[in-house]
Amino acid sequence: MGTHGDVEERNRGRIERGAKRVRAVFAGEVVADTIRPLLVWEVPYYPTYYLPREDVRTELFVPTGRTRESRQRGVGIVSHLRMGDREAADAVTEYSDSDALRGHVRLDWSAMDAWFEEDEEVYTHPRDPYVRVDVLSSSRHVEVVVDGVTVADTRAPKLLFETNLPVRYYLPKVDVRLDLLEPSDTVTHCPYKGRAEYWSVRVNGELVEDLAWSYRTPLRESGPIAGHLAFPQERVEVYVDGVRDRG
């Protein structure tokens, strides 16, 4: 598994043609539909989509007269996306100075109501074709300690291996001190795992917020972690066969 530095160097300025059909939905309508997307690594760890202009409803663009500059992509022309009484401010960028991106449109991911790869909705960002997720059953002894209190102890974890990230230990709820957990309103999404719910942990009279998460109905490739709880090694003490894993 490569280091973060390796990933950053490998993906710097990377642009590739994608093979999936990609659609973006805004205000209840499809505003982009293409089988020729570009994957562009604007940040090192995941790509974004640039879509051919002819596959986007450009009549919905409202020029702002503003630009944004990128060291790698040049000067980008910024527009709003307006559909009826709905407007996504500054949601459209076109880099006409870039040979590789000329004729393509970047729609702000979070400004859209939904994104689809083929007929499956995808969350947070496009799936990276170089990221793999493996979930393996294990008999390793995993113990989670928070402020000196053991909050989980199992010999039946699910180990989730995701490219370029620390291994995560998903623990059966029957092996977790659920009496110490309090539901949180926090929700996050992952393009490989789905929708995560969070719990805070109360130990020694103190509430540590959002210290555990779980995927109730994970996406297909992460199905075995359904209903299990994970704790981040960066914030708690996780011992695997008696040895601390610091992530």
Chain segment 52-77, per-residue pLDDT in tens: 999 999 999 999 999 999 888 889 99
Residues 6 or more apart whose Cβ sits within 8 Å of residue 219: 192, 193, 194
Considering only residues 40 and 97, tell me which one the structure prediction assigns the higher pLDDT.
40
In angstroms, the CA 64 to CA 60 distance is 13
- Region 107-117: mean pLDDT is 97
Q: What is the mean pLDDT of the chain?
A: 94
- Mean pLDDT (whole number) for 102-128: 96
Place of tokens 């090192």: 44
What Å distances lie between residue 220 and 5, 105, 135, 194, CA to CA?
30, 30, 11, 9
Structural domains of the chain sorted by starting position, each given as residue range(s) with its CATH number in brackets: 4-122 (2.170.150.40), 133-245 (2.170.150.40)
* Torsion of the alpha carbons at 202, 206, 212 and 213, rounded to the nearest 10: 80
DSSP symbols for 14-41: -EEE--S-EEEEETTEEEEEES-PEEEE
Residues with Cβ < 8 Å from 85, sequence gap 6 or more?
none
**6 pLDDT more than 70:** no
- Does residue 241 contact residue 174 with C-beta atoms inside 8 Å? no
Q: In the structure, what pLDDT confidence band is assigned to residue 79 with cuts at 50, 70 and 90? A: very high
pLDDT value, residue 97: 86
Q: What is the mean pLDDT of residues 23-41?
A: 97
For 209-239, what is each residue's pLDDT tens digit? 999 999 999 999 999 999 999 999 999 999 9
Q: Comparing 235 with 6, which gets the higher pLDDT?
A: 235
Over residues 96-118, the mean pLDDT reads 95
Both tokens of 45, joined, read: 């760890």
Confidence of residue 11 (pLDDT cuts 50, 70, 90): low
Tell me the sheet residues that pair with 43.
Answer: 46
Band of pLDDT at residue 9, cut at 50, 70 and 90: low
- Give the confidence band of 13 by pLDDT, cuts at 50, 70, 90: confident
pLDDT of 194 strictly over 90: yes
Name the pLDDT band for 1 (thresholds 50, 70, 90).
Answer: very low
Q: What is the per-residue pLDDT for 247?
A: 87
